[in-house]
Amino acid sequence: MGLPLMMERSSDNNNNNVVELSRVAVSDTHGEDSPYFAGWKAYDENPYDETHNPSGVIQMGLAENQVSFDLLETYLEKKNPEGSMWGSKGAPGFRENALFQDYHGLKTFRQAMASFMEQIRGGKARFDPDRIVLTAGATAANELLTFILADPNDALLVPTPYYPGFDRDLRWRTGVKIVPIHCDSSNHFQITPEALESAYQTARDANIRVRGVLITNPSNPLGATVQKKVLEDLLDFCVRKNIHLVSDEIYSGSVFHASEFTSVAEIVENIDDVSVKERVHIVYSLSKDLGLPGFRVGTIYSYNDHVVRTARRMSSFTLVSSQTQHMLASMLSDVEFTEKYIRINRERLRTRYETIVEGLKKAGIECLKGNAGLFCWMNLGFLLEKKTKEGELQLWDVILKELKLNISPGSSCHCSEFGWFRVCFANMSENTLEIALKRIHEFMDRRRRF
C-alpha cells in the first residue's frame, strides 16, 4: 500500500483515468511511507510462531498488552454473560441498545469509566462522568481535541521522543503543526523549562501560533512517568502563555507501582481557579491498560465546559459502538474486579519489564530506567558506527534481518539522539520473550568475538 504519484490537475479534455482528490488525501502526512513500516512488512511475511515458524520475525514493535487477557476472559465467561447477550432470554435489552446513538454515551458506561480512571489514580483525583466524552479510540480523541484547540497552521508543542502516530493523528486532517520540545538522555529525557521556552520561541520565530502542549504520561516510547515537578512546571508554562495542556494518559494503568504515577488530574484537583483548570484536558483509552484496541474505546476528559460540549458534538463522527459500551459498562463498574485487574496487570507488566531489562543487561545493553508501559527504551548508541539517522537505521535493519526482531528505531519517534530503540515486551508469551533475548545475547556475543 504505497502512496499514489502526485496527481496533476487535469483539464476538461483529459481522457486518462486520473481524477483529482483533495490535498489531504494526496499528502503523506498519514506517515505510512516511513521506512520503519518495512519492519511490519517483514514481520507479516515471516511471522514468528513457537511451533510452526520458530525462526520467524518476532514482533517487538507493537505496543499491545496481552499479559492479562485471562482475567478478562474469566470475568466475561463467568460473571458477565448478560453484558454480551443483553439479558438471558430473547435478548430483551437488545433493541434499546441497538437504537442508542446518543453522543452523550451510555450513562452507566461513563460512570464506569470515571470510576475506573479514579481507581487507577488511587483515588487521588475525582472524575465527573458528565465531563467524559467517548470517542472511537484515543486516535480519534487526540485528533478531535486538536480540531477543537487549534486552527490550521497553528502548532502544538510535543516533547520528543514521541509516538510516531501523532504525526498523523494531530496533523493530517487538522492542518495543525507539531513543534518538538527536544529532550535528551542527559536528564533521562525529561522536559526542562529551557526546552519548553526554546520550542515556543522556535514556533514564534516561524510566525506560528502555539495553542498547546501535548504530553504522554506515562511516556511512549520512554516507558517512564512524568515527574510531579515537571507537570507543575508545564501547567505554569501553559498558564503564562495562555495555552492548553493535553495529557495523554492511556498508559496510566500500566505503571508498575501506582504511587509513582502523578496524573495532571491530581495537580488540577487542588486548583480552584477556573482559568487554570479550563486549559487542562486528559485523553484515555482501554486499548493499553485493558488490552482491547479492537473495541475502539477512547475518551476525552476536559475541565473546560465549552470543550466538553463541542467534543461531544464532534464525537458524532467517532462514536463507540453501543454494543461495546453495554458490555464494558458492567465489567468496569464491578469495583472488586477492576481493583484486582489493575493490581495483577501492574505486577505482570513489572515482571515482564524486569525480565527484559535483566536479560538485556546480561547482554551488555542498558535501558532507560523505566517504570511503566508496554516497552523499554533501549540504548544501542554504542553499537553505531556513526551516530546519525542513517547509522541508526542501518543497525535497525541488521536487527531486523539478522536477529529477526522488529523493534522501533528512535528516529521514527523523532528522538534527537541516535541509537535508541523502543522494544515491546507485553505482546508475546514469556517463552517468546526468552527467545528474543537469546537472539540478542548471541548477536552481542558474535560482535564481541570480532
Partner 1 sequence: MVLLSRKATCNSHGQDSSYFLGWEEYEKNPYDVIKNPQGIIQMGLAENQLCFDLLESWLEQNQDAACFKQDGQSIFRELALFQDYHGLSSFKNALADFMSENRGNRVSFDSNNLVLTAGATSANETLMFCLADPGDAFLIPTPYYPGFDRDLKWRTGVEIVPIQCSSTNGFQITKLALEEAYEQAKKLDLNVKGILITNPSNPLGTTTTRTELNILFDFISKHKNIHLVSDEIYSGTVFNSSEFVSVMEILKNNKLENTDVFNRVHIVYSLSKDLGLPGFRVGAIYSNDKDVISAATKMSSFGLVSSQTQYLLSSLLSDKKFTKNYLRENQNRLKNRQRKLVSGLEAIGIKCLDESNAGLFCWVDMRHLLGSKTFDAEMDLWKKIVYQVKLNISPGSSCHCVEPGWFRVCFANMSEETLKLALKRLKKFVDDETSKRSCQKSESQRLKGSRKKKITNISNWVFRLSFQDREADER
The catalytic residues are 163, 248, 250, 288
Least separation in angstroms between CB 160 and partner 1: 22
Residues 229-258 that bind partner 1 (CB under 8 A): 242-244
Chosen residue from 17, 51, 270, 431 binding partner 1 by CB under 8 A = 17
What is the distance of C-alpha 450 from the center of its chain? Answer: 39
Chosen residue from 43, 109, 256, 295 binding partner 1 by CB under 8 A = 295
User: Smaller CB distance to partner 1: residue 172 or 443?
Assistant: 172
User: Smaller CB distance to partner 1: residue 370 or 373?
Assistant: 373
CB 29 within 8 Å of CB 395:
no
Count, residues near partner 1 per rule CB under 8 A: 93
Residues 135-194 that bind partner 1 (CB under 8 A): 136-137, 139-140, 143, 147-152, 154, 168-169, 172-173
Residues 315-374 that bind partner 1 (CB under 8 A): 316-324, 327
Residues 208-227 that bind partner 1 (CB under 8 A): 211
Least separation in angstroms between CB 66 and partner 1: 7
User: Smaller CB distance to partner 1: residue 320 or 433?
Assistant: 320
Residues 419-448 that bind partner 1 (CB under 8 A): none
Residues 99-128 that bind partner 1 (CB under 8 A): 99-104
Residues 25-64 that bind partner 1 (CB under 8 A): 25-26, 30, 32, 64
Residue 306 touching partner 1 (CB under 8 A)? yes
User: Smaller CB distance to partner 1: residue 42 or 140?
Assistant: 140
Residues 59-98 that bind partner 1 (CB under 8 A): 64, 66, 69, 72-73, 76-77, 81, 84-86, 89-91, 94-95, 97-98
User: Smaller CB distance to partner 1: residue 179 or 415?
Assistant: 179
What is the distance of C-alpha 303 from the center of its chain? Answer: 22
Q: What string marks each residue from 270 to 289 as x (binds partner 1 by CB under 8 A) or -?
A: -----x--xx-------x--
